[in-house]
A and B are shown apart, each in its own frame.
Chain A
Amino acid sequence: MKNDANRYAVNIKRLRIHYQTRNGPVKAGEDISFKVRPREVFGLVGESGCGKSTIGQAILRILPDSTRVEGQILLDDEDILKYKREEMRKIRGEKVSMIFQDPMTSLNPIMKVKDHFMETINTHKPKIKKEKAIDMIKKALDAVGIESDRLNEYPFQFSGGMRQRTMIALALIMDPTIIVADEPTTSLDVIVQAQILEVLENLKQSFNSSMLLITHDMGVVADMADRIGVMYGGQLVEENIKDKIYKEPKHPYTKALLGSIPNTDIKDMHLSFIPGAPPDLLNHPERCRFAPRCPKAMEKCWEETPHDFVMQDGGRVRCWLFEKESEKKYDPDEVGELVG
């Protein structure tokens, strides 16, 4: 019988991330658990400042040294939080890689595009023959739609869309287990955004890597994601397969988020927004973080942090409203079958 670990590309258990600041610890991530299966795209959505980017960086372990990270991040069965510096360095770029938000600044301006790739390949596979390396590069560039005769150019000679595609190629060239895409389209204009999404969509078909797609834009995950996790105030408040999230959102925040997407439906002329502001992650008392803005907040919400409840349809919700309905509380260690 296959054991739990092999079923998931990434298995995050009870992740807790605290930034040290002059005024005290900022709790950017509180008790976060979720799993990503092989070849799956997991969309992590939420407002700015909800902690989603932090999760992405935590997986790469490129958070500042002063940050405290607790919990477990199991990548292909191994807890990478326990890795030493050198061990972690070895898997960065090879087993886990990242696509950054701003393509204009993420490439070394005085290094040729080809050298970016050669450097990465040589770092992880120093003995590789040059021809083989060039093959790998060509394959990656093909997948993202860049002609290989542009290899000898410098990043500043590429357009924004091309640079982002280069970044994507760099992220997948070593065939990693998971690619963390941190707001990959946010800095791009709408048309280029669509192009990039198309590239990512194609990759889904032809490459083996899973993807953690981090974004604040519900429209971006609508096509690409298989499952979606909604974050608020440093916590994962809902998780389910994409269709269920869009059609039957449970958490009040998820509902509000979906309601605030402008659509072209004539009948719905009212652009709703969520009143109030995102919570201050610095001083947080123990209660539901969304309570101040929640239209359905009960007394219990103000007194105790809601548990993570598993629902009948397989999704999870962190909300007291669903306490009665739920089957049980989510246990990250439990071996189980994910729906969808």
Chain B
Amino acid sequence: MKYYVLQRILLAIPMFFILISVIFFVLRIMPGDPVLAMLGGKAPQEVIEAKREKLGLNKPIGEQFVIYVGNLLKGDLGKSMLTRRPVNEEIAERFPATLELTLWGFIIAVVIGIFWGSEASRNREKTVDLSARVYAIFIYSVPVFWFGMIMQLVFGVWLGWLPVSGRLEFIPGFYEKTGFLLIDTLIDGNMDAFFSAIRHLVLPAVSLGVVISSIFLRMVRGNMILTLTKDFIKAAKARGIRRGAIVYRHALKNSFVPILTVMGLQFALLLAGAVLTETTFSWPGIGTFLVKKIKDRDFISIQGTIVIFALLVISVSIIIDIINAWIDPRIRY
């Protein structure tokens, strides 16, 4: 098992390397000079040159690349071209917000997907199943930002139950510690803040979760159906094993590997969805950060953010693979 873990991590390194290289080169071929964009067209040539040298942009591209990789390995993502603050810091400030949103969205998607999916696979052609299929196809076609806006209209504007933007109302005397509001407010003992945080979290998390759940539901249902037709299920049935045990111990557990794999792939979609959801709800996370930096042409920040995304995606895929190997012994032998 440990051997498998090691193997898996080693395999991830070239992939990470490729991603960061792709990011590097893609951003360097940007039309238009970023320095010019930063300083404005009217700046004198010497100032531009000086700036360029300061940022290390006048070196040959190969050398720039080596410096870039070297810095990355040290954990240095550079300094934002606009705010001059380390990109690490700026991302770290916003990271918990995105994580909190993504986590709750994921939980909602998983709960819907696994329960509805299992029930649908066991009760083919009945209401549970048919409604699941309709839901899956329909929700798949719904853009997450549109869904978010409809939620805002219905629950925010028409019914006035929930807020449509931000993470928290302004609450005097409250300071974030971990950045995870649900935790911070509880630690602080500030129940008003806690409920406010929840109220702000509901719409974005549900929007994200529901939209992601469509694919998930389809996968769970599909996989369970496939597993339920397998011979060993029939054989277990022929030994008189109870229906519940068949579904959970035999079918679901066997479906878990492909389901988890799908969950892992969903993570990428989850991140993409998070970017869109954050924009819709003015949620101060990495998504809105990225979009803003792109508009600012702050390509060092852009680069740094995408590197973080790559790191996240690869880490999740490693974790999923490890869990898979733990569940299904065939994988690790």
Q: Which residues of A contact B (CB under 8 A)?
A: 60, 62, 89-94, 97-98, 100, 102, 105-111, 119-120, 123-124, 154, 156, 167, 170
Contacts and interface: CB of A to CB of B under 8 A. Distances in A.
Given A100-B231, A111-B249, A156-B333, 4 more contacts: A62-B238, A92-B237, A109-B330, A123-B240
Given A62-B237, A108-B236, A154-B330, A123 B231 contact: no
Contacts of B327: 110
Contact of B329 (A62, A107, A110): A110
Given A109-B254, A110-B329, A154-B329, A120 B234 contact: no
A154 B330 CA distance: 9
A102 B329 CA distance: 21
Contacts of B240: 89-94, 120, 123-124
22 contacts: A90-B240, A92-B237, A92-B239, A93-B238, A93-B240, A94-B240, A98-B235, A100-B231, A102-B231, A105-B230, A106-B232, A109-B328, A110-B327, A110-B328, A119-B239, A119-B249, A120-B239, A120-B240, A154-B329, A156-B329, A156-B333, A167-B235
A105 B231 contact: yes
Contact of A109 (B232, B238, B243, B245): B232
The 3 A-B pairs of least Cβ separation, nearest first, read A93-B239, A92-B240, A93-B240
B254 A108 contact: yes
Interface string B185-217: 000000000000000000000000000000000
B241 interface: yes
Interface of B: 230-232, 234-243, 245, 249-250, 253-254, 327-330, 333
A289 to B, nearest CB: 28
Contacts of A110: 253-254, 327-330
Contacts of A89: 240, 242-243
Most buried by A among B239, B242, B253, B254: B239
Given A106-B232, A108-B232, A110-B254, A156 B238 contact: no
A97 B329 contact: no
A244 B113 CA distance: 61
A107 B239 CA distance: 12
Given A102-B231, A109-B330, A110-B329, A119 B241 contact: yes
Contact of A62 (B232, B234, B254): B234
